[in-house]
Chain A
Amino acid sequence: MTEAILTMTGISKEFPGVKALSEVDFRLLPGEVHALMGENGAGKSTLIKVLTGVYDIDQGDIVLDGEPVRFSGPLQAQHAGVSTVYQEINLCPNLSVAENIFIGREPRFLGHIRWSTVERRARELLRRLQLDIDVSATLGTYSLAVQQMVAIARAIDISAKVLILDEPTSSLDASEVQQLFRVIRQLKEEGIAILFVTHFLDQVYEIADRITVLRNGRLVGEHRTSELTLIDLIGKMIGKELEVLERLEDRPKRLAEDAVPLVDARELGRKGAVAPFSLTIHKGEVVGLAGLLGSGRTEVARLIYGADKADHGQLTVAGRAVTMRGPRTAMANDIAFCSENRRTEGLIEELTVRENIVLAMQATRGWTRPIPRRRQDELVDKYVKALDIRPPNPDALVRNLSGGNQQKVLLARWLITEPRLLILDEPTRGIDIGAKAEIQRLVAQLSDGGMAVLFVSAELEEVLRLSHKVAVLRDRQLIAELPNDDSLDVDRVMETIASGAKP
């Protein structure tokens, strides 16, 4: 076996109230793709941040290329050959694509930046990723997928011995993922060690050579991908049997429909966002929104919640016409909305778990009527337990929680308001299989209890598993509404999306 390019031994890291890593060992060989797996809060992100010097290490050693190292920041790590592409894109959306790729290391001549070289090299780089875009355009005008590719291009260009990809595929569609994998394989050939973090298990089996599994901040084991079955992997990640997943296999039962739908959107639309669509959601019904990235799924959800104002059509809630003035109108009609961007549109990261959970309820009460502390504690305790939010400390800052636990906090915020319609936009994106199963089970439970749910997800299996009815979107149009009976499967939904016609 070749010598490891990177070895981490006995790494420990503690945050106030959270033991994020304890005595974790990790190694990376040149020319391999190594998947780092684990549930939310298992310590994957922390391990990466410790490696790249974002966080200080409490204990342990890192050896890179035979030299003991301890980076004081990502920049230093980069100079030593460790580049990272984070889950949340860390670029400047207000700068051009080319500027983003070369920021901080622009080719200069006599102190002046040579812009023509910058743009030419940026174009060449992106072409290597088979991405042909205008590099002088502002980054923010491109889709998240393109932005992700630009981030990868930047990391690749900085001479990297070790390339860390933290959830690079969570916002890419299938063909873009394949494009990325081609690039990863090419880099692998060049002898670069690639650390790959993802929640998509099939992607791990497609691309990774070896797998390291973490659980609760501890090392569970390191395995060759070929020697570890999928079932074993999941078992190691969640540390318990697979009944959670199996129990979800039963499809939801169809409820008797009420005469009047809970929410009835008629020809609701907004220019530039989504063409006028009609959609009904009944009490206790789970309606899934399926479609490719950018097909208008999120826009539909936002219009129904009033996050964006509709300029067309009419929304009726429980038979009453509603003039949507914004989120507060939606809330007054018991509609709740968990955004797909939990960091920018969901949570207040510098506030505590408790404050984040009671926020929406407090907002409806107004500032003059604070929720009594005892009632807050009751509510928060109840939901921290019910959703298994870890750490179970209401005074922990939300910023220090892992992605899945942050998602649960956001869910808890809306559940305590007891909505009649819960809109979930990508609630399981970027979170691990255990938390995913928990959230799916929760949706099924809520629906059994009579809550209507509008469920948006890029994963068709998930949509089909949970929904009573699937609305299919394509090119910002709602093109079909399919009842989820036995005849509906992923292929038929795909066909509908592909054909673009009503079946």
Chain B
Amino acid sequence: MNTLVKHRLFWPVTMLVVLLLSNLIFTPGFFKVEVRDGHLYGSLIDIVRFGAPLIMVALGMTLVIATGGIDLSVGSVVAICGALACWRISEQGDQNSVTGVLVAVALALGLALLLGAWNGLLVAVVGIQPIVATLILMVAGRGLAQLITDGQIITVNSSPYKLIGGGYLLTVPFAILVALAVTALAVLLTRRTALGMLIESVGGNAEASRLAGIHSRRITMMAYIVAGLCAGIAGLMISSNVSSADGNNAGLWYELDAILAVVIGGTSLAGGRFSIAGTVVGALLIQTLTTTIYTTGIPPETTLLFKALVVTIVCLVQSPAFRAKVFHGRRRPPSTPAGPATAATEKVEVPA
């Protein structure tokens, strides 16, 4: 039991379960999952489906944060990629052409890779602080997306494209399958190869890593490229789901939700140790919260406040220092090195 409580995912998972259970009070059929018209239906499915883009973005963000950096531009990349794909599809004669959609998707993802590489270049090669380097694309990216859409909202009517974010494959929403596949891929890539360890090493101590012969630049670069690609996929999902691209609002403030998901998942903003499973749980938690707000009919003008409140509670419960204070009377928190995660958690509460 004790080892279970001490597991790094114990508190995030507990909070997720508590949040899900509390939904039962307002929505008795919350846990019901059924097959309707050959499609899986239910609130739980919706949470994963609408949470898929956030999972994507947060996965990439995890790697970037693990290297000791941060990527503020992911929200803009979401908008740019959605815009590019939709523009390309809207330009072609037959919007339902599968090859046409594939080309559009490939173009968008290619651009996402490039944008990630741009961030990586600024951070790893030029040596700009990550928060400043990615701020450039965060701001400029919105402009780029509006250039592509010409300042309008581009709507498309393409059933192959609709599949990515809104369609089903073998009764399961396609977005969930993509999220599963990319998560599995990320786990394989970081834990079956040495990439995970090298990223943690660079994030833990960049100079020591350099002296141990690690290509810190290459590793850092790779993290930003992956983050770009993941944001690109999320952009496709979002624009596909609504069949339109909005350069202004697509993926707005996504970077903050993603950072929050990473931090809830137990990865320290200081870099080093990261947890992909934790990030997925964190992203699901945030999505559950959003869904809860809709299903329980909380007045729209109080949603932000409500969300902030819940996030604050989640962060506090996860903080060992806070738990020690509240649950163990005057006992002090354990040794100091546990500090950074806690501090990081508290830092991020604000933007939510």
Q: Which residues of A contact B (CB under 8 A)?
A: 15, 53-56, 72, 305, 307, 326-328, 331, 337, 339, 344-351, 355, 359-360, 362-371, 399, 413
Contacts and interface: CB of A to CB of B under 8 A. Distances in A.
Contacts of B337: 349-350, 399
Interface of B: 192-195, 197-198, 200-201, 204-205, 207-215, 219, 272-273, 331-337
Contacts of A349: 204-205, 337
A363 B332 contact: no
A326 B192 CA distance: 28
Given A56-B333, A331-B213, A362-B194, 4 more contacts: A54-B336, A326-B210, A362-B198, A367-B198
4 smallest beta-carbon distances between A and B, as pairs:
A363-B213, A348-B204, A370-B194, A367-B195
Given A15-B335, A370-B194, A360 B213 contact: yes
A365 B195 CA distance: 11
12 contacts: A15-B335, A56-B332, A56-B335, A307-B211, A327-B211, A348-B208, A350-B272, A355-B200, A355-B201, A369-B193, A369-B194, A399-B337
Contacts of B208: 339, 344-348
A351 B201 contact: yes
Contacts of A346: 208, 211
Contacts of A371: 194
A345 B207 contact: yes
Nearest to B190: A367
B212 A367 contact: no
Contacts of B219: 367
Which of A307, A337, A362 counts the most chain B CB atoms within 10 A? A362
Nearest to A15: B335
A362 B219 CA distance: 13
A370 B207 contact: no
A370 B192 contact: yes
Contact of A351 (B195, B204, B215, B336): B204
A326 to B, nearest CB: 8
A348 B201 contact: yes
A427 B55 CA distance: 46
A117 to B, nearest CB: 32
Contacts of B201: 348, 351, 355, 359
Nearest to A328: B213
Nearest to B200: A351
A348 B198 contact: no
A410 B214 CA distance: 15
Given A328-B213, A328-B215, A362 B205 contact: no
Contacts of A362: 194, 197-198
B274 to A, nearest CB: 11
B194 A365 contact: yes
A274 B18 CA distance: 63
B193 A413 contact: no
A368 B200 contact: no
B204 A363 contact: no
A307 B208 CA distance: 10
Contact of B211 (A15, A337, A365, A366): A337
A362 B193 CA distance: 10
A327 B204 contact: no
Contact of B335 (A54, A337, A355): A54
Contacts of B192: 370
A377 to B, nearest CB: 15
A368 B207 CA distance: 22
Contact of B214 (A53, A72, A359): A359
B127 to A, nearest CB: 15
Contact of B193 (A54, A339, A363, A367): A367
Contacts of B212: 327, 359-360, 363, 413
A332 to B, nearest CB: 9
B125 to A, nearest CB: 14
Which of B194, B210, B214, B219 counts the most chain A CB atoms within 10 A? B194
Which of B195, B213, B215 counts the most chain A CB atoms within 10 A? B213
B200 A348 contact: yes
A363 B205 contact: no
Given A344-B208, A363-B213, A370 B332 contact: no
Contacts of B207: 344-345
Which of B197, B212, B215, B335 counts the most chain A CB atoms within 10 A? B212
B105 to A, nearest CB: 27
Contacts of A307: 211
A368 B193 contact: yes
A307 B213 CA distance: 10
B213 A348 contact: no
B194 A364 contact: no
Which of B193, B197, B204 counts the most chain A CB atoms within 10 A? B197
B213 A367 contact: no
Contacts of A72: 332
Contacts of A350: 200, 204, 272-273, 337
A172 B337 CA distance: 28
Contacts of B198: 362-363, 367
A327 B194 contact: no
B33 to A, nearest CB: 38
A355 B197 contact: yes
Nearest to B219: A367
Contacts of B211: 305, 307, 327, 337, 339, 345-346
A399 B340 CA distance: 14
B271 to A, nearest CB: 9
B194 A351 contact: no
A351 B208 CA distance: 12
A153 to B, nearest CB: 24
A116 to B, nearest CB: 34
Nearest to B222: A367
Given A349-B204, A355-B201, A367-B198, A327 B210 contact: yes
A375 B208 CA distance: 24
A344 B205 contact: yes
B192 to A, nearest CB: 7
B193 A370 contact: yes
Contacts of B200: 348, 350-351, 355
Nearest to B213: A363
A390 to B, nearest CB: 19
